[in-house]
Structure 1
């Protein structure tokens, strides 16, 4: 089945999040929003957890219920659960890269409409702060494992299936490279277009590779 022939995935498949989870997401977003503002004003290293908690009008203990550390404010996001749901609910016969491509596009369009500045701050920090850059690799590995596990569940393949893990790793790398290019270019390009371009390249089977 070619990329053009593959079934599309409804937008609703990427965002069926329950009320309780939405409330948690809103609280995390409020904390993150204040943290990013302080990072921009004072720098990442000079900003403390106590300052973030005060700005978000919560206690430090509440902060740690949502984020294990200051680094996690930057490194964690709500995209993985949405992507996993897209993988589980996609039409039968849809390829892994097509599911991810559609699910990511849906999520990224919403993020860019509502939180472009915060996303730009996040990516800039992940590239410029050594501690964040080191830990971002671990985050990518977790996302890679989630993608492989969710697709294995729907396809009946083993989680440690070699081809599946290679595909998940390639998809994760393509998305990471797209976001890095966006940040390195001063966040001037359209990251949605970059990710779509990268995943489209994978979907074609790297036929135009150098």
Structure 2
């Protein structure tokens, strides 16, 4: 069970990010300052930066990479790696709560409209790939990068479609992942 300090830290993190997303949606990413976010969250700008090193992190930071890497590494070794990656991504989306989906949708929409965030999305993609490669040291790094890259691209495309057109994010992701898995070499 997390300590009181860890729970408070997590609550502050969530509060700051929720206030930031609300302000970015209302005013725009470029028009909202870190000071605005700090004021809305009732914390100092230093506290914001302690939790989120950059303004972009207020939108893009999450704690999914270690969980994703751990779950892929724990998957059945006899199953093709790309299927393990696809299953973990699909299962992760299926397990999201309505609140998590709401947060994800807000983050996506802001990320799609703010040009400053587009390059960081690629950086996040790379960081996710590297986390999975590190979790699978016995696997072929090229195979891991291709499997993760293909599956992340499929899910990212599905989630972008969801943000722009609606639908069920899990169903869209499963559909996109199945398109990747059906490809023959």
- Report what 1:19 is aligned to: 2
Please, what TM-score do these two structures have when normalized by structure 2? 0.85
Give CA deviations for 1:36-78 in whole Å, capped at 9, x if unaligned. 1112222222211112112222221111111111111111112
Unaligned runs of at least 5 residues, structure 2 = none
Q: How many residues align?
A: 183
Deviation per CA, 1:82-125: give whole Å up to 9, x if none.
Answer: 10120232233233233333322333234342233322221111
Which residue of 1 is the match for residue 133 of structure 2?
Answer: 148
- The 3-state SS of whatever aligns with 1:198 is helix
Q: TM-score, normalized by length of structure 1?
A: 0.76
Gaps of 5+ in 1: 1-17
* Matching residue of 1:35: 20
Aligned to 1:157: 139
C-alpha RMSD of the superposition? 2.4
Q: Distance in 2 between matches of 1:110 and 1:158?
A: 29
Paired position in structure 1 for 2:181 = 203
1:65–1:117 Cα change, 3 Å:
same
Write the distance in 2 (CA, Å) between the matches of 1:141 and 1:176: 13
Deviation at residue 193 of structure 1 after TM alignment: 0.9
Match among 147, 150, 157 for residue 177 of structure 1? 157
Seen in structure 2, the aligned counterparts of structure 1 residues 100 and 165 have a Cα distance that, compared at 3 Å, is closer
